[in-house]
Amino acid sequence: MASIDTTDIDVIVVGAGNAACASAASAVENGSKVLMIETAPEDARGGNSAFTGGAFRFSYNNVDDLISLCPSLVDEDLDNIDFGTYTHEQYYDDIFRMTQYRADGDMCEILVTNSYDSAKWMTSHGVELIPATGRQAFKVDGKFRFWGGLALRINGGGEQLVLNWHEQMKKLGVKVIYECTAIGLIHSEGTGVRGVRVRYQGEEHELKAKSVILACGSFESNAEMRARYLGPGWDLAKVRGTAYNNGAGLNMALDLGAMPYGHFSGAHAVAWDLNAPPYGDITIGDQFQKHNVPFSVVVNANGERFRDEGEDFHSYVYARYGGEILQQPGMYAFQIFDAKVQHLLRSEYRCRFLTKYSADTIEELAEKMEGVNAANVVKTVKEFNEACRTDIPFDPNVHDGRCTEGLSLNKSNWANPIDEPPFDAYAVTAGVTFTFGGVKVSGQTEVERSDGSVIKGLFAAGEMVGGLYFHGYASGTGLMAGATFGRIAGRQAAIHAGTSN
């Protein structure tokens, strides 16, 4: 019988993604011996963190703050890059606007006020940050201008992040056991949580420790839980990332009386290639996503528009595109572009795996688009083109106010007539990223019961914590939340284990 040695282990971390690794690193920094358990095999480790594009949202006041995180910035043509600022206030504004003022204020304060320091701490653990030009700033008149607060991103995206974190785990002496699935918590009223029950190599084991940190993701990979919490149709959504986030951590904590917290019927879901596989493919990463809605006209199977494509920069609305597509007939839609905006499209529009139709006229394009009312597409585009206020200059870096007028559903910004061939249409459906509901934690990341008491010895971080996301999401927050709350969880778990003050 295979056995797992837990002698001297102070803290067990469940999961092996960004939040788990941040928790483990911090627990070690606070004197603990840490064991990490991961349900996936080693080559699929790291959950959703491994699938990320590496967007990383933190506040900064000036370019010097950025140089301190990314020293190579001094070699850039800084006269022609306007990084602007991203103050605490701007960060708060974005979160509260996105979440319709529902985000937990205490959690936001922890996230925002620690974000720069968390980024710095990540760089001390070998994470390399580089400018996010191209994705978050367009070149207009020879100058890049950042519009969404995401100045730097993690070099190499999620794959490199997870590789990097696991090199750190080795250096820090954190033992990682793969294909080891947490199935329950060892708990008694007197002592609190004292370990984890796992399934490993076909048998159940009890792994004892003084503190446990759950950092094992949300329930987005579990079709039954998606249907149960998000509603009808969500079981049919594609999953953008890992197949291993099945809500196990959430269920284990709820079984002990943890308080469900946050937007349980909400999820982050984007426009995602219609023919993408059911779960993420790490060799493709996030390239099935199709985020450039603001430069497109989007139609459903009836050939009708259903959203204001120019509502906001994609970073602030892309997390809602998926849910909206799920509501459309057949649960799919098409993004239509013309040649004028080709140079603005992100790399994902040049990915090798695309459900894409191209033609030199809109009539021809509409005939090619599978499963659409072609006559209506032609009518919709014609009406849209006629409604564009082309007298207002187009500028992709600002809310340019170049809108349509007179349509029953207008486009608010970036409205260009679709009139310059070739024309392209991309078929998309909903790709769910993660779910918003989770457990309630204290400011010290202790898992709380509904009566406000804490479950002694149990901490949580990352996607499985509720309270930060409602309705929408500002991109780059997931990794920052995992780093910030993971770091706190590691410290607090170590304090609970008696290895730190």
Ligand X SMILES: Cc1cc2nc3c(=O)[nH]c(=O)nc-3n(C[C@H](O)[C@H](O)[C@H](O)COP(=O)(O)OP(=O)(O)OC[C@H]3O[C@@H](n4cnc5c(N)ncnc54)[C@H](O)[C@@H]3O)c2cc1C
> Is 45 or 226 the residue whose CB approaches ligand X more closely?
45
Q: Pick from 17, 148, 322, 323: which binds ligand X (CB under 6 A)?
A: 17
Amino acid symbol at 490: G
**What's the closest the beta carbon of residue 324 comes to ligand X, in angstroms?**
18
**What's the closest the beta carbon of residue 22 comes to ligand X, in angstroms?**
8
**What's the closest the beta carbon of residue 64 comes to ligand X, in angstroms?**
24
Using DSSP bridges, classify how beta strands 34-37 and 11-14 pair: parallel, antiparallel or unpaired. Answer: parallel
Residue 161 touching ligand X (CB under 6 A): no
**What's the closest the beta carbon of residue 297 comes to ligand X, in angstroms?**
25
Among 8-16, 64-72, 99-107, 259-267, which window interacts with ligand X (CB under 6 A)? 8-16
Residues of this chain, 232-251, that bind ligand X according to CB under 6 A:
240-242, 244-245, 248
Locate all alpha helices (DSSP H) within 125-247, ordered by sequence. Answer: 157-172, 223-230
Question: Count of residues for the chain?
Answer: 501
Dihedral angle sign, alpha carbons of residues 86, 92, 93, 98: positive
Residue 435 touching ligand X (CB under 6 A): no
Tell me if residue 154 falls in helix, strand or coil.
strand
Using DSSP bridges, classify how beta strands 446-448 and 438-439 pair: parallel, antiparallel or unpaired. Answer: unpaired
Q: Pick from 26, 32, 49, 99: which binds ligand X (CB under 6 A)?
A: 49
> Is 92 or 244 the residue whose CB approaches ligand X more closely?
244
How far is 275 from 427, CA to CA, in rounded Å?
A: 8
Q: Pick from 51, 83, 261, 313: which binds ligand X (CB under 6 A)?
A: 51
> Is 107 or 182 the residue whose CB approaches ligand X more closely?
182
How far is 26 from 208, CA to CA, in rounded Å?
A: 20
Q: What is the DSSP letter of 96?
A: H
Q: Pick from 462, 467, 472, 490: which binds ligand X (CB under 6 A)?
A: 462
| Residue of 26, 31, 29 whose CA lies nearest to 9 | 31
| Residue of 311, 253, 292 whose CA lies nearest to 457 | 253
Phi, psi of 473 (to 5 degrees): -165, 135
Q: Pick from 9, 11, 12, 20: which binds ligand X (CB under 6 A)?
A: 20
Name the β-bridge partners of 432.
239, 269
The answer to whether residues 103 and 96 touch, using CB atoms and an 8 Å cutoff, is yes
Residue 459 touching ligand X (CB under 6 A): no
Residue 39 touching ligand X (CB under 6 A): yes
Residue 472 touching ligand X (CB under 6 A): no
| Residue of 317, 266, 250 whose CA lies nearest to 462 | 250
Residue 19 touching ligand X (CB under 6 A): yes
Residue 16 touching ligand X (CB under 6 A): yes
Residue 463 touching ligand X (CB under 6 A): yes
Residue appearing with tokens 């509502």: 311
**What's the closest the beta carbon of residue 45 comes to ligand X, in angstroms?**
6
Structure tokens at 253: 């904590």
Contact string (CB under 6 A) for ligand X, positions 197-226, x = contact:
------------------xxx---------
Using DSSP bridges, classify how beta strands 175-177 and 34-37 pair: parallel, antiparallel or unpaired. Answer: parallel
Residue 262 touching ligand X (CB under 6 A): no
Among 38-46, 63-71, 370-378, 452-460, which window interacts with ligand X (CB under 6 A)? 38-46
Residues of this chain, 279-338, that bind ligand X according to CB under 6 A:
280, 286
Residue appearing with tokens 């078929």: 427
Residue 12 touching ligand X (CB under 6 A): no
Residue 131 touching ligand X (CB under 6 A): no
> Is 16 or 299 the residue whose CB approaches ligand X more closely?
16
Residue 478 touching ligand X (CB under 6 A): yes
Phi, psi of 199 (to 5 degrees): -105, 125
Find all residues with CB under 8 Å of 154, minimum gap 6, and list them.
Answer: 52, 54, 55, 56, 127, 128, 129, 160, 161, 479
Number of residues this chain uses to bind ligand X (CB under 6 A): 43
Amino acid symbol at 114: N
**What's the closest the beta carbon of residue 340 comes to ligand X, in angstroms?**
27
Residue 14 touching ligand X (CB under 6 A): yes
Find all residues with CB under 8 Å of 253, minimum gap 6, and list them.
Answer: 185, 214, 439, 447, 455, 458, 460, 464
How far is 95 from 178, CA to CA, in rounded Å?
A: 35
Q: Which residues bind ligand X (CB under 6 A)?
A: 14-20, 37-40, 45-49, 51-55, 181-182, 215-217, 240-242, 244-245, 248, 280, 286, 433-434, 462-463, 476-479, 482
